[in-house]
């Protein structure tokens, strides 16, 4: 059931942005109408997925091997914090990214883009990978694997769409950056300019991670209502912020 709900959420999330589908819907609803409809569908399908996982997260329990190896467990927790920090930073700087809703434009890579052009997707993928390896049950393992797949597919799909819409400037931008953090830096295609980094965003991400760690066992309480509310609110804020900056 978890996999089916992932297909529903992921399928609509990516499928509605496929060129023929998106163009047809934009002609009928307008750009703003499409984004509102797309967002509502995404929130509803995400809510259904999280609610199911919250109710069944303790079904089919299994012990993760990595939990029994303290250094490895510590490294995975560190990876989770790093990924979540990138995700939070992406939400805060979203209007400045080329893929920002209402404001598609290409500028030289700055700040977090020097580390990854998709801080939202890659951050979530790293966070989910760490959690999948530490997952205490089959349901949660499948849930986090689904997060990884959607993040990677979503990032690649977004790259193809923006390359088509923005042409050579975006293709050059994609060549000079990387999906996975620090790959472009390691391959000498990008250089980190430390003074340009969004340290406030990184700090907020780390702080939120540490706060969530204190209530980690209760995050999915109340049928996942906390997760659903926070993710939905964050998405709305990012879209409104992008819309305001584009005006």
> For the whole prediction, is pTM greater than 0.85?
no
Distance CA 132, CA 235 (A): 24
Residue 53: HSE in the Cβ half-sphere, 13 Å Cα cutoff:
31
Distance CA 94, CA 15 (A): 22
Phi and psi at residue 71, to the nearest 5°: -60, -40
**Domain extent for 142:** 2-246
Spell out the per-residue pLDDT of the chain, length 247, in tens.
Answer: 788 888 888 888 778 877 788 888 888 888 778 888 888 888 899 899 989 988 888 877 777 777 778 888 889 999 999 999 999 999 888 878 887 766 667 888 889 999 999 999 999 999 999 999 988 888 889 899 999 998 998 899 889 888 888 889 999 999 999 999 999 999 999 999 999 999 999 999 999 988 888 888 888 888 888 888 878 887 777 666 656 555 5
Number of domains making up the chain: 1
Q: Angle at CA 215, nearest 5°, toward 199 and 140?
A: 95
């Amino acid at each position: 059931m978890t996999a089916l709900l992932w297909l529903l959420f992921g399928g609509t999330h990516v499928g509605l942005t496929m060129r023929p589908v998106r163009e047809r819907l934009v002609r009928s609803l307008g750009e703003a109408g499409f984004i509102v409809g797309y967002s509502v569908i995404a929130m509803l399908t995400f809510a259904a997925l999280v609610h199911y996982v919250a109710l069944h997260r303790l079904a089919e329990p299994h012990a993760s091997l990595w939990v029994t190896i303290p250094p490895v467990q510590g490294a995975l927790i560190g990876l989770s914090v790093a990924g979540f920090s990138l995700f939070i930073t992406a939400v805060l700087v979203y209007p400045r990214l080329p893929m920002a809703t209402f404001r598609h434009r290409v500028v030289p890579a700055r700040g977090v883009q020097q580390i990854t052009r998709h801080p939202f997707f890659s951050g979530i993928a790293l966070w989910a990978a760490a959690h999948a390896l530490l997952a205490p049950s089959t349901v949660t393992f499948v849930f986090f694997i689904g997060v990884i797949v959607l993040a990677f597919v979503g990032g690649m799909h977004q790259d193809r769409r923006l390359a088509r819409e923005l042409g050579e400037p975006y293709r050059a931008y994609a060549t000079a950056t990387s999906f996975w953090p620090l790959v472009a830096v390691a391959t000498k295609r990008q250089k980190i300019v430390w003074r340009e980094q969004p340290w406030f965003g990184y700090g907020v991400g780390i702080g939120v991670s540490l706060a969530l760690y204190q209530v980690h066992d209760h995050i999915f309480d109340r049928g996942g209502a906390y997760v659903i509310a926070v993710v939905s609110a964050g998405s709305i804020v990012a879209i409104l912020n992008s819309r305001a900056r584009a005006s």
